[in-house]
Structure 1
C-alpha cells in the first residue's frame, strides 16, 4: 500500500528534518520519498489534513486492559482501537490479568490476539510466579517469546534478594527488570499523598519517603549487581534527584512518569472523588515542577498514560474501598500539550522506545518506522463523550487539552480517526 502525506510538518527532535514541512511517500511501511512536493497517483492513499504533523510512532510503556480474565474492564481489541485513536503505535501490556502473564503461553496469547492490528503489542511478563513476589517466573522463556520487560504491576518487590537475583539472572539475556517504587511497610494503609490535604480530609497518607526509600534500595542493589533496571511512574522531587545521581554514576537505570502526575495535585482530593485515587498518589505543585524539570533535562526518560480501566462498581463507592487507577490513553497527548513544548511532548512519548527494544530512528528516506499523525494546536476540553475505553473512569475528565490525534501508520496499516 502506498500512502502519501501532504504538507506534513515533521517533528523529529534528533533528526535533520525537524519542523520542516514536506510531502512523505510511504510504501509497505517504508518511507521511500520525502520532498517539497510529490504528485499523487490513483494508486496512492492521500492523507491531507489541517496543520498535519508527523512524528515517530508513540509508545506507552504501561498499559492495562483486562483480557484475559477481566474483559468487562477492556478487551484487547477495543483497547488497541483506543490506543490507535490516541496516537500510540506501540504499547506494553501489563501482566495484571487473570491468569497473570507469567509464562510463555500467556505471552503468546497476548501477541496472537493483537497480531492483525495496526498497534504493535509488547507483553510485560510478571517478574514472579502469579505476581506474588515469592519465586521468579519463567523470565528467559517469556523473553524468547517476546516479553520486553518483567514487572509485578504496581506491586513493590518486598524481598530485596529477589530483586538482586532477577537483575543478575536477566543479564544473561539482556532482560529489563522493573521495580515499582514504594516501600510497602512505610506506605502501610495509606491511600493518598501524606500532607496538609490528607490531614484535613482525614485520609491516610503515603509519605514520599515510601517511594524514595524503595528507589534508594533498588539503586544500591543495581550498583551491586549490574543489569538493567526501569523504575515506573515516579512522583517526587527527591526520586528525580536519586535517579539523576545514579545515571551520573553510570548505572543502567531509566524511569517514567504517569501523565496525571504532571497535571493534577492532591488538591483535587477535596471532593473525595475516587477518580483521583491513583497509585502513585497525586502529589503537590512542587513535585510536579520537579517532574517536569526531570523530563526536560532527560532524567525522566518518558511519559506513560498508565492506562488502567476499572469497573465502575469499584470506583462508585467509598474512597477507602475504591480501587486505584484511571484510564489515560485518550487524554495523554492533549494533557502533555499543556505542560511541555512540542519537541518535549514527542520526546516524552517516544523516549522509552529504545529501552524496551522497539525500532527507532530518524524520519528520512529508506527507513521503516511507525508514524503518528496529529495536529498540536487545537485547544479543547476533555469531556466524558471523548472517552473511547470501556471504562469511563478518568482522572483527566474536564481538563483542558491541547492537540488532536489524526491517526497512525504502523505495520503497513493506516488508521485514521
Structure 2
C-alpha cells in the first residue's frame, strides 16, 4: 500500500525535517521518501491546506468499558475514536468487568485490538479485583503485555502493600502506579473544596486528600527503590513535592489530565455533571502551577484521562453522577489552545519513553507512525466532534484551536471522513 502526503508541515524535534514542509511517501508501512515534491502513482493521496504530521501521540490513561461495560464504549469503537483523535497508541485502564488482573485478561483485550492502526497497551490491576488486599499476578501480566500496574482511581490505602509492590516489581523492571487520593480525607466529596463548593452546597475534596498520598508514596519509593508513576496530579503542592523528589534522584514520573490544565472549579456553577471529574477541577492557582510544572518538566506527560460514562450514570443529580469525562477527541485542540504546537506534540508523545513504547522519528526508512492534524483551525467543540459511544465531554461548547484528522500507523490509515 502506497500513501502520499502532499506538502505537510513536519513537527518532530528529533528529525532533520523538523519545521519543514515536505511531501512524504509511505510504502508498506515505512517512510520511503521525504522530499519537496514527490510525483508517483499511489493508492491514497492526502492533500489538505495546513495539514501537519508528527510522531504518533500516546495517551497513558484511557478507559473503554469493554469487557463488562460495552454500553459505555467498546474496544473497537474506542480505538477508532483514538485514531480519529490523532492517537496511535493508548494505555487501557483495567476498570472493566471483570477487572484486568491476570494474564488471560490482558491477552484477551490485546487480541481484541489486533489489526487496528492504533496499538492498545493494557495496564493490569495492581491488586486482585482491585480490592486493595492482595497483589495481582504482576509478572504474568507483564509477560502477557501489560505495561504497568494500576488500580484505576483507587488509592492503595495499605502502605505496606504498596511497599511490597514497589520491591517486587524491581525484579522485572515493572512500573507501579499509585493514584493519590486519601479516602479518609475526601470522604463522599464531589468537587474541589473551596468557596465554590460551599457556595453551591456540594461536598468538597480538599487538596490535602491528594497531597498526603503523594507524600506517603514518595517516602515509600525512597525507601524501596523501584519505579513509581503518579497519575493525574491536580494541585500546586503535588507539583512541588514531585519536583523535590526528582531532585533527590527518585525514579518517579507523573501525569496531568488535560482538563485540569484547561479548566477550573468555576465550571461547577453550571451544575453540569460532565464537570464532575476525579481528581476534581481545582483553582486557578493550581491550574497555573500545573502548567508551569509541565513546561519545566516536573510533570512528565499529559493524558486525556478518557472515561466514557453512559447517560444513565451521568445525566442525573450532580451528587449521584459518576466521575469522568471523555477526552480523546478534544485533547489536541485543548492543549494546542494553551501551548505552542511544538510543545503540544512534545507533551502528547512524552509518555512513550516511560512506558517503554518505541517512538518512531519522521525519517526515510523509519516506520510510519504519524498523527495527522490541522494546528491552526479554530472551532467550538460540539457533539458532532465526538466519536465516542458516550457523549460526556467536559469540553462541550469550549473554543479550541487545532483539529486532529487521523493517523497512519501499523501500515494502515484511518482518518475522519
| Partner Cα separation in structure 1 for residue 172 and residue 39 of structure 2 | 47
In the other structure, the counterpart of 2:66 is 67
- Tell me the alpha carbon deviations over residues 137-162 of structure 1, each in whole angstroms, 9 at most, x when there is no partner: 01000000100000000001101111
Distance in structure 1 (CA, Å) of the matches to 2:31 and 2:199: 57
Distance in 2 of aligned mates of 1:60 and 1:162: 27
Q: Deviations over 1:394-417 (max 9, x none)?
A: 111000111111210111001121
For residues 281-292 of structure 1, what are the structure 2 equivalents within 5 Å? 281-292=280-291
Matches within 5 A, 1:259-278: 259-278=258-277
User: What residue is the counterpart of 1:191 in the other structure?
Assistant: 190
Q: Which residue of 2 aligns with 1:25?
A: 25
Match of 1:3 in 2: 3
The number of aligned residues is 416
Unaligned 5+ runs, structure 2: none
Q: Distance in 1 between matches of 2:101 and 2:45?
A: 43
1:372 paired residue number: 371
Tell me which residue corresponds to 1:389: 388
Partner of 2:105: 106
Q: Secondary structure at the match of 1:111?
A: helix
Please report the RMSD computed on the Cα atoms of aligned residues, expressed in angstroms: 1.1
Q: CA–CA distance in 1 between the matches of 2:47 and 2:397?
A: 30
Within 5 A, what are the aligned runs for 1:272-351? 272-351=271-350
Distance, in Å, in 2 between the alignment partners of 1:239 and 1:148 is 24
Poorly superposed stretches of 4+, deviation over 4 Å: none
Does residue 211 of structure 2 align to residue 208 of structure 1? no
**Unaligned stretches of 5+ in structure 1?**
none
CA distance in 1, matches of 2:367, 2:81: 24
Change (3 A) 1:15 1:247: farther
Q: Alpha-carbon deviation of 1:12?
A: 1.0
| Shift in CA distance, 12/401, structure 1 to aligned 2, threshold 3 Å | same
In structure 1, C-alpha distance between the alignment counterparts of 2:177 and 2:60, rounded to whole Å: 11
In 2: Cα distance, 1:352 partner to 1:371 partner:
16
Distance in 1, Cα, partners of 2:55 & 2:22: 15
SS at match of 1:136: coil
1:40 match: 40
SS at match of 2:319: coil
Between stretches 356-365 and 244-253, larger displacement belongs to 356-365
Spell out, residue by residue over 1:117-141, the C-alpha distance to the aligned partner (whole angstroms, 9 max, x if none): 1110000100000001000001000
Question: Deviation at 1:291?
Answer: 0.8
For residues 348-374 of structure 1, the C-alpha deviation after alignment (integer angstroms, 9 at most, x for no partner) is 110101111111143212222511111
Give the distance between the partners of 1:280 and 1:124, measured in 2 at CA.
20
Q: Is the 8 A contact 1:359 1:369 kept in 2?
A: no
Check conservation: 1:183, 1:214, Cα contact below 8 A. Answer: yes
Q: Secondary structure at the match of 2:396?
A: coil
